[in-house]
Structure 1
């Protein structure tokens, strides 16, 4: 194995470990036992334990189930797992992502609409070269 392969493996292992630590922290914050989360997510206790210890990298589907069990945004887990890029944040984005009454699809639609409004506003501001009348 050459140096590049070792570096890549090390980076992947660190990302998996970070994901497991993040899931464990979210579970502890929610005051849910490993057994309870495993049941809510539809996975076995040993499997979830291995995920939390960074020994397994769950699929996007399992991450969705874990997120549902934790009542957090699946997007947060996808970003942590490296499946999605970190999204621009701000009070509106954070509020949408934190709203537990919205489904993941509803959140995504709202974020897409909000982003399009922001782009439209930026484009209009960039194209506005006229000086305001005094």
Structure 2
């Protein structure tokens, strides 16, 4: 019938547990979107490239503590809050499955 083809950079390995970088990326993306900011806006405020922030949000890059601090500072979130949210997300698992038609 139909074949599902993942978009470049969006494939996640099948496993029951999220990676830390994926959970942190999800939390950062949600925080940015809740603020109504574009990647360019947040990246500029954090002093990182939009490409780097995009890779962090997609769980492709594991940011150093300095980079994480810069990004969370731009989002006006304490690092410990992001870490706590990421830990909660990991404890719940990968979250709901969303399929596109």
Q: TM (normalized to structure 1)? A: 0.49
Equivalent residues of 1:63, 1:78 under 8 A apart: no
**Unaligned residue ranges in structure 1 (runs of 5+):** 1-9, 83-134
Highest RCO, 1 vs 2 (Cα 8 Å, sep ≥ 6): 2
User: RMSD over aligned Cα, in angstroms?
Assistant: 2.0
SS in 2 for 1:63: helix
- Using the size of structure 2 for normalisation, the TM-score is 0.63
- Please list every run of at least 4 consecutive aligned residues from structure 1 whose deviation after the TM superposition is greater than 3 angstroms: 10-13, 78-82
Q: Of 26, 42, 65, which residue of structure 1 is paired with 2:47? A: 42
Larger-gyration structure (1/2): 1
- How many residue pairs are counted as aligned between the two chains? 73
* Alignment gaps of 5+ in structure 2: 1-14, 88-101
Are 2:25 and 1:15 equivalent residues in the alignment?
A: no
CA gap of 1:12–1:44, structure 2 versus 1, over 3 A, is farther
More helix as a share of residues: 1
